[in-house]
Amino acid sequence: MINNKGDSCVGEQTIKQSKAIYWASGIVSVCGIIFEVLFGAAGSYLLGDGVKQYTLTISLFLTGMGIGATISERVTKNLILSFVWIEYLIGIIAGSSTFLLFGISAFLSEGTDAFFLYAITLVVGALTGVELPILIRKANDIGVTLKKSTARVLFSDYAGGLIGGLLFVYLLRPEFGLVKTAFLVAVINVVIALWILLYFKKELQTFKRHFTAGIAILVFLIAGVFFGEEMAFSFEQKLYRDPIIYSETTDYQQIILTKEQGDLRLFLDGQLQFSSSDEYRYHETLVHPAMATAEKRENILVLGGGDGLALRELRKYEEVKAITLVDLDPKVVALGKTNRDLVQLNEKSFEDERVKVLHEDAFKFAEHHSDQFYDVILVDLPDPNNESLNKLYTLEFYQLLRNRLAPGGSLMIQGTSPTFATEVYWTINQTIKEAGLYTENLHVDVPSFGDWGFVLAKREPVKLDQADIFVETKFLTNEVVAGLTTFGKDIDNEIVNDDGQPVSIETNTLMKPTIIEKYEKAWRSY
């Protein structure tokens, strides 16, 4: 009887310990996948080209896991302490990662931030790769067969990965941001380590020393949760010339407003969208040539433009009956409606009863609203610096917009800088032509941007010389518009390479997105 009771107690203890290991493997897997996508998001925000950054960080993280799995073969003793200290290291390194990344971006030379991000990703991936083999080995040591321990730990890992991804997308990133999320998840790693340490306390002679170290690390990370974001904000301020007056990370992008001596500036994912000192040059060129060349000006579509500045110019036309503005991010539009400085700049344009706002992807809107036709379409979207934006500069997208144009209608597209990104600008122009539209090219000097290009397109030949701008403007006149169509020899469509040979312009399509690499290469020098 005594032996049976003893065996029963041992069996119960084995079951409890194995369950603790499975729960630990699932929870640290949640943390691992969150760190993996967190690094991709941080790279996308600070370094641009989201697809590239996610690809690199995921690849490096998985490579690190492979390295870690190999290293784990040498860990055969003190399995619980090895697991605990791996969690401690993940907590310290991964928890501080985004905080340090913002600091490096603010104070060190360009390129250092990318090196740091990739190095951290590889290291954290390697530490994550050591976790599971240790847990599997420990589960096997306490009496669970190797087959069962491996299968169950891996199930906990994979299920945890799904949960981690969903948590990051729908809760952590939008509610806490990148810096606080890193510290919060690191806290979970350390808490799990302390829990496992307590669970296997009887096996450890040096329990107090390791537990005290874990508590100290936990206090550090909790301090990071409460104060890290504020300090990182001061680092982020260094990335901008003027004081930040508004900052928010939305489901789609990072929004920054700065202001200094009356100059209001909007940045999306670190890219300048306008400066209040000269934005009228950009927005007048975006709006009025298209309005002047359209046969009718009753039904207008604006893609992007959530700041309301293009709407301000459109409101000057009494014959306009309806303006549909499509902007993916409701937070940008909310800013345009409520921020005192921005409302003053856009002259309360969202209060116009003719304005209807839809929060949709511009491509999907053009694809699904096939029964709507517009006299003027204005495309005021960010530059094509990633895959999601590239689709809005493709042949397929321009074909959709062509089909939405009413007879005699005009389409105006911002086309980045023909000076800084010459090949990109003329690729956009060529792609629009391939969609079956006639084009006219314009560029304007916007001091905060530099030389900036636009493409005016119609189903019929564009007769810009017959256009009459009759509304009140600060910059544009009929004579000025005529001058905007002249390009210097160094930025015209006769592009040559370094050897003086002509460069052929390819059409940008969904299947072959040629424009992203050109854009990244062009702006790398500026």
Residue by residue, DSSP assigns 238-288 as HTSSS-EEEEEE-SS-EEEEEEETTEEEEEETTEEEEETTTHHHHHHHHHH
359 is in an annotated binding site: no
233 and 305 belong to one structural domain: no
Supply the residues annotated as catalytic. Answer: 380
Quick one: tokens of 376?
A: 């003027």
303 and 224 belong to one structural domain: no
The percentage of the chain sitting over the pLDDT mark of 90, rounded to a whole number, equals: 61
Residue 133, domain CATH: 1.20.1250.20
Of the candidates 185, 212, 238, which is a domain's last residue? 238
The reply to whether 250 falls in a domain is no
78 and 201 belong to one structural domain: yes
Of the candidates 213, 238, 263, which is a domain's last residue? 238
Q: Are 321 and 245 in contact (CB under 8 A)?
A: no
403 and 294 belong to one structural domain: yes
The reply to whether 266 falls in a domain is no
For 406, list phi and psi in degrees, rounded to 5: -75, 160
116 and 193 belong to one structural domain: yes
How many domains does the structure of the chain reveal? Answer: 2
- Which structural domain range is residue 292 located in? 278-523
The reply to whether 347 falls in a domain is yes
219 and 296 belong to one structural domain: no
216 and 93 belong to one structural domain: yes
218 and 331 belong to one structural domain: no
Low-confidence winner among 17-31, 331-345, 438-452 (lowest mean pLDDT)? 17-31
pLDDT band for position 43 (50/70/90)?
confident
Q: Of 94, 92, 105, nearest to 232 (Cα)?
A: 105
What are 284-322's pLDDT values in tens digits?
Answer: 999 999 999 999 999 999 999 999 999 999 999 999 999
pTM: 0.77
Q: Of 340, 485, 460, 468, nearest to 410 (Cα)?
A: 460
307 is in an annotated binding site: yes
114 and 189 belong to one structural domain: yes
300 and 216 belong to one structural domain: no
Of the candidates 180, 206, 238, which is a domain's last residue? 238
In the chain, the amino acid numbered 491 is: I
361 is in an annotated binding site: yes
Let me know how long the chain is. 526
430 is in an annotated binding site: no
Burial 438-463 (b: 16+ CB within 10 A, else e): ebbbbbbebebbebbbbbbbbeeebe
The reply to whether 272 falls in a domain is no
The pLDDT score that the predictor gives to residue 500 is: 64
Q: Which residue has the tokens 């329990």?
A: 207
90 and 201 belong to one structural domain: yes
The pLDDT score that the predictor gives to residue 2 is: 45
Q: Of 408, 462, 410, nearest to 291 (Cα)?
A: 410
362 is in an annotated binding site: yes
Q: Of 502, 525, 503, 346, nearest to 421 (Cα)?
A: 525
Average pLDDT over residues 157-179: 83
The reply to whether 282 falls in a domain is yes
Average pLDDT over residues 444-454: 95
The reply to whether 505 falls in a domain is yes
Residue 518, domain CATH: 3.40.50.150
The reply to whether 256 falls in a domain is no
233 and 286 belong to one structural domain: no
What are 90-145's pLDDT values in tens digits?
Answer: 999 999 999 999 889 878 877 898 999 999 999 999 999 998 888 878 877 776 55
The reply to whether 472 falls in a domain is yes
